[in-house]
Amino acid sequence: MLPGDGLLGESLRRFAGEGAILQAAVRGLMRTGKILIIEDEKLIRWSLTERLRQEGYSTAEAESAASARSTLREAPFDLAILDYRLPDTDGLSLLKELREGHPEMPVILITAYSSVEGAVRAMKLGAFDYIHKPFDIDELVLAVEKALENTRLRREVRWLKESQARQFGDTRIIGQSPRMREVFHIVERVAATDATTVLLRGESGTGKGLVARAIHQGSKRRDRPFMTVSCTALQETLLESELMGHEKGAFTDAKDQKKGLFELADGGTIFLDEIGDIPPAMQAKLLHVLEDKTFKRVGGVRDIAVDVRVVAATNKDLERAVRQGGFREDLYYRLKIIPIELPPLRDRDGDIPLLAQVFIDHFNREFGKSVPGISERALVLLSEYHWPGNIRELRNIVERAILLGQGEKLDLGDLPAEIRDRGPVGESTAEGVFALPPGGVVLEDLERDLVRQALRRSGGNQSRAARLLGLNRDQIRYRIEKFDLRAAPPPAEV
C-alpha cells in the first residue's frame, strides 16, 4: 500500500497523478537494484534511466567502456545493460571483461545488429539476456526484473548455505519456508542441550540424515564420532553385532573381538535410520541401552558403559505400529522425548527454487557444466508437482537434466514425463501463448479470472499463486486487493 501520511506519501501522490503511474511508483517502492547503463547514445541512456528510476531502481550511466570501468571501480552494481557498439570497443569484448571481473553481476546486451550467431556468442560469453534494437522498454524492464531476481536467488542460496554451515557445519540443509525455519529452530535448541534421544519423523527423502548430522555438528559432541546404521540393511543377528559388537568366538564367523557402533561412538552421536524396521528382540536390547547407558557385546558378560546421543529416524507411523503390536510402546515413548517432524517437499513453500539452484550449482561443478538456472515455466511445474520422493527425487531430476539438457537453461523438455505431462503451462498456440477467443476478451476480467484460478489451484497460498502467474508476492497481493479476492478461495483442485 502507498504510504498515506508524511512527506513521502504526499510527494508520491503529487508525482503519481494517474493510476498507471501510481502503480509503477508503488512497484518501485518494492524494488531494489543498482544498474549501470553502458550506452553511447545519450537519448537511449536518458530514456532507460528515467524508466528504470520510475520502476524503483537506482542507475548510473557510462558512454564508453573506459567510463564503465571507472564507474565500476568506484562502486559495485547489481546489473549492467550493455550496448553492443561502443566508441572504444565492441560490446562482446567488454562483456567478457565484465563477466571475468564481476562474475556475480548479470549483463543484458542490447544491439541493433541482431543475428543468431551473435546471440549464441553473447550467451556463451555469459550474457544473461540478448535484446534487439529497437526494443520494447517493457520487455527490457522484464528482463531486468528476471536478471535481478536470479541474482537475488543465488545470493540467498549462498547466504543460507553459509549461515547454516556456521550453525551446523557442512550439513547442506537448505530452506527458508516457515516449516523449515521451525525445524532449524528446534535443531539449534536440541543440539545445545544434553538430550540423548531424538526422533526424526518424515517421509523418505526429506533429509532426516542431514538433520541428524546437523544436530551432531551443532552440539558439544561435534568433535566426537558420528556413526550411521540402517536398521533395514542388516539381519537381526548382524544388526546386534553391528551395534553392540561381539567377542571372539561368539558365533561361527566371530574370529576376533569387534567393537560395536555404540562403543565406537562413545561421546558422540549414533544415527539409527529407519528405526521402525528394527526386529522385536533387538527393540528390547536397544531400550536397555537407552535407559541404562550400558550393554554387553554379543557373547560377552561384561557391561560396557557409554555416553552416546541416539538420533533415530523413521518414515513409518510408529503409533500405529505400537497399536498393531509391531513396535514396543516403552521404546517408542523413550525415543519420542524430543520428536522433530520433517515436512515433505510439497509443503515447503518457496524452497523448491532454492533447492533446485543448489543442485544445479552442485552438478555444474561435478560435470563441468555452466547451466545458469531453470526457466520460469519449468519452475512452475516443479513447484506444483507432488514430490513423492521429496528432496532426493528433486536432486535426481536436476542431475538428469544437467547431464542431458541441451539448452542454455533447464526447461520443460529437460523434465521427466511424470512432471511435464501433468498439465499445460502456457502451451503455445499458432498465434502466441494463449489463443484469443473469436469474440475477444475484456483484459481486466481475464486477469481477475486468472488470479482467482491461481488462488484456487494453490489452495489460497499466495506465493504458489504468484509463481503460477509469473508474478512476485507483492504483485499478487496488489491484484488480490485490486480485484477484492481477499476472501478464502475454494479448496485447491485435485
Q: Is the domain of 337 the same as that of 190? A: yes
Q: Is the domain of 382 the same as that of 432? A: no
Q: Is the domain of 216 the same as that of 330? A: yes
In this prediction, residue 481 carries a pLDDT of 84
Q: Is the domain of 441 the same as that of 486? A: yes
Question: How far, in whole angstroms, is CA 92 from its chain's centroid?
Answer: 32
CA distance 268 to 245: 17
Domain assignment present for residue 349? The answer is: no
Q: Is the domain of 455 the same as that of 414? A: no
Domain assignment present for residue 231? The answer is: yes
Q: Is the domain of 217 the same as that of 365? A: no
In this prediction, residue 342 carries a pLDDT of 95
Domain assignment present for residue 18? The answer is: no
Q: What CATH number is given to the structural domain containing 410?
A: 1.10.8.60
Domain assignment present for residue 14? The answer is: no
User: Which uninterrupted H or E stretch holds 311?
Assistant: strand 309-314
Q: Is the domain of 232 the same as that of 380? A: no
21-53 pLDDT, tens digit per residue, is 333 433 333 456 899 999 988 998 999 999 999
Give the chain's length. 494
Low-confidence stretches of the chain (pLDDT beneath 70)? 1-32, 113-119, 156-172, 422-439, 487-494
In this prediction, residue 318 carries a pLDDT of 93
Domain assignment present for residue 348? The answer is: no
CA distance 166 to 222: 13
C-alpha distances in Å from residue 108, one per residue of 143, 145, 360, 382, 415: 8, 11, 22, 27, 27
Q: Is the domain of 278 the same as that of 240? A: yes
Domain count, the chain: 4
Q: Is the domain of 214 the same as that of 339? A: yes
Radius of gyration of the chain (CA): 29
In this prediction, residue 267 carries a pLDDT of 92
Q: What CATH number is given to the structural domain containing 57?
A: 3.40.50.2300
Q: Is the domain of 317 the same as that of 189? A: yes
Domain assignment present for residue 286? The answer is: yes
Domain finish residue from 84, 114, 147: 147
Strands 58-62 and 34-38, how do they pair?
parallel
Domain assignment present for residue 223? The answer is: yes
Q: Is the domain of 185 the same as that of 297? A: yes
CA distance 453 to 119: 37
Tell me the residue range of the domain where 339 lies.
169-343
C-alpha distances in Å from residue 359, one per residue of 123, 172, 282, 381: 22, 11, 38, 17
In this prediction, residue 482 carries a pLDDT of 84
Decide: 269 and 221 in contact? Cβ < 8 Å. Answer: yes
Q: Is the domain of 202 the same as that of 73? A: no
Domain assignment present for residue 16? The answer is: no
Domain finish residue from 296, 312, 343: 343
Domain finish residue from 371, 402, 420: 420
C-alpha distances in Å from residue 91, one per residue of 125, 143, 277, 366: 11, 18, 63, 31
405-423 pLDDT, tens digit per residue, is 888 889 988 999 888 876 4
